[in-house]
């Protein structure tokens, strides 16, 4: 069942004891805040604001990301970032853990994989690969990423400086 909806809110936010922290889809009004967070991390919004999920503490957005379902059992994480002042406190791990647990709930127009197994791929910027490894991703060939993401860095002039690392999380 596809639980994704504009105002979907998980019943019990996991991974911490602060009950003011929730993980929801972003709303249109969050666009500027999200854009500021992603551009500070060298990225940008990946589509409409409402396609992203955000971890909030009350009214403040602490972290966000956008998943895309490429196939029933294959998701791709297009962008993921934690607000600058919030890094290094376990916030990224908390949001990532939730996304990896039930990616279809945090992805617009997604369906739950029927077989119970799935993969999430992403292209990490070099320095963030260590974070992904701490979140149980492993390095993989870029060809494992769904198109067009398998070749997204090929013609990028910043590729050498960025040091992209293709990564995959597998739920078996």
Least distance to ligand COA from the beta carbon of 43, Å? 7
Report d(CA 37, CA 76) in Å as an integer: 20
User: For ligand COA, which is the closer residue by CB, 121 or 128?
Assistant: 128
Whether the bond between 64 and the residue before it is cis, its omega within 30 degrees of 0, is: no
As a whole number of angstroms, the distance between CA 14 and CA 158 comes to: 36
Nearest-approach distance from CB 87 to ligand COA, in angstroms:
3
- For 17-67, the DSSP string reads S-TTEEEEE--GGGHHHHHHHHHHTT----S-GGGSEEEEETTEEEEEEEE
Nearer to ligand COA, 26 or 113 (CB): 26
Tell me the pairing of strands 21-25 and 53-57: antiparallel
- Is 26 a binding residue for ligand COA by CB under 6 A? The answer is no
In the stretch 91-130, what mask flags binding to ligand COA with x, by CB under 6 A?
A: xxx------------------------------xx-xx-x
Among 88, 115, 148, 157, binds ligand COA (CB under 6 A): 88
Q: Which stretch binds ligand COA (CB under 6 A): 14-22, 28-36, 83-91, 150-158?
A: 83-91
Q: Which is nearer to ligand COA, 46 or 113 (CB)?
A: 46
Q: Residue 102 has which token pair?
A: 């039930």
């Amino acid at each position: 069942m596809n639980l994704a909806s504009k105002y979907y809110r998980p019943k019990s936010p996991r991974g911490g004891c602060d009950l003011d922290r929730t993980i929801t889809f972003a709303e249109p009004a969050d666009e500027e805040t999200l854009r500021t967070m992603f551009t500070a991390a060298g990225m940008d919004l990946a589509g409409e604001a409402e396609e992203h999920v955000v971890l909030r503490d009350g009214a403040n957005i602490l972290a966000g990301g956008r998943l895309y379902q490429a196939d029933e059992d294959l998701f791709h994480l297009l962008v993921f970032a934690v607000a600058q002042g919030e890094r290094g406190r376990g916030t990224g791990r908390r949001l990532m853990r939730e996304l990896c647990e039930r990616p279809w709930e945090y992805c617009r127009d997604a369906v739950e994989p029927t077989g119970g197994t799935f993969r999430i791929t992403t292209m990490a910027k070099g320095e963030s690969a260590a974070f992904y490894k701490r979140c149980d991703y492993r390095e993989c060939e870029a060809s494992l990423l769904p198109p067009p993401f398998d070749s997204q860095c090929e013609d990028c002039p910043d590729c050498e400086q960025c040091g992209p690392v293709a990564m995959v999380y597998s739920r078996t």
